[in-house]
Homo-oligomer: A and B are copies of this chain.
Amino acid sequence: MVTIKDIAKQLGISVSTVSRALNDHSDIKKETKLKVLETVKELNYRPNSVARSLIHQRTYTVGLMIPDITDPFFSTISVGAQELLSEQGYQVIIGNTLRDSAKEKRFIESALERKMDGLIITPDHVDEELVEMLSNINIPVVFLRRRPSKLLKVPFVDVDHYKGACEAVEHLISLGHKGIGYIGIPIESPIAIDRFQGYKDTLKKHDIPYVSDFIQLSGGRTIQSGRIAMDQLISHIPEMTAIFAYNDLLAIGALESLAQHNIGVPDTISIMGFDDLEISNLYWIQLSTMSQPRNQMGRHAAETLLKMINHANTDDEIPDSILLDSVLINRNTCKKLTYQ
């Protein structure tokens, strides 16, 4: 490997002079600087950032831990983060954890050994072990799409799921719907709680009674689960004229079930999703839904992380957490209710 020494030797000068030339220091003659730059080209020299990191105690590397890079949701977030970070000279190392908490811990451990400058993480469960681990860490961390435990003084960025759910249901109500069902997942994660609560609160706000028969909370968050849930709910048509689904996959599953039963959407029932996946815009689907600003989430997470990295010593305050708004995308699965 060609190093700074080789350049120094070839020119008969010292390594420190070469270093100064390469780093645009002031105390160097223009002439020698040019000679150095020339030799750099000639020898095809490239600075060794490993050595640089060792000196500067900065690797210009940050870790981004996500559950599944294959999920366009997370890959778009990661693009947002990468865009901003690479502008600032940072490399991003993506940890694909597949929601496996052992993998999560291994990734964080490895990030620490590699002396990354910061960490953006989306842990699947914020369990005790993780909290314990994170509280002993000496690099900045920001939570993405997850809420840190109260013990952790860590900022997060997420979308306002509660507000989004309220808007979605509000939209349905504004179209005249009163019999509004909900297809969701078991009330465990904070996100599930927020969206469900938004649904319930908005009904209450409009004095619409909560009908537990219109609710299906079993199953996972897949198309398959949505189809099964809708199968259960189908007997409540036509009293039930609309459905708000926890996410687009469930909504699409519902659409599938309704298509199989030959029930028209939005003619006999309206469907509202949440997430705005790319497939939701497909010709056959055209799902009305709440779009989450994924790219922005990644950018904001990166921004707050950079703030923390740069103000590590000067300022002890951690940056504010951020809740972004989702936006309503109106396609073809919701219809104004007309009373005949």
Closest to A54 in B: B50
**Number of this chain's copies in the complex:** 2
Binding stretch for chain B, among A111-119, A155-163, A209-217: A111-119
Interface residues of A in 125-157 (CB under 8 A from B): 136, 138
Closest to A138 in B: B1
Chain B residues within an 8 Å CB radius of A223: 282
Interface residues of A in 182-222 (CB under 8 A from B): none
CB-CB contacts of A75-110 with B at 8 A, as 1s and 0s?
110110010000000011110100000000000011
CB of A69 within 8 A of CB of B78, answer yes
Q: Which range contains the number of A residues in contact with the other chain?
A: 35 or more
Closest to A114 in B: B49
Question: Beyond A282-B279, A284-B284, is A49–B93 a contact (Cβ under 8 Å)?
Answer: no
Q: Assess whether A340 is interfacial by the CB under 8 Å rule.
A: no
Chain B residues within an 8 Å CB radius of A76: 70
A79–B53 Cα distance when bound, in Å, is 28
Which one of B46, B75, B138, B285 lies within 8 Å of A69 (CB-CB)? B75
Chain B residues within an 8 Å CB radius of A51: 54
Chain B residues within an 8 Å CB radius of A94: 92, 94
Q: Assess whether A283 is interfacial by the CB under 8 Å rule.
A: yes
Chain A interface (Cβ < 8 Å from any Cβ of B)? 1, 44, 46-51, 53-54, 57, 59, 69-70, 72, 75-76, 78-79, 82, 91-94, 96, 109-110, 112-115, 136, 138, 223, 252, 256, 259-260, 279, 282-285
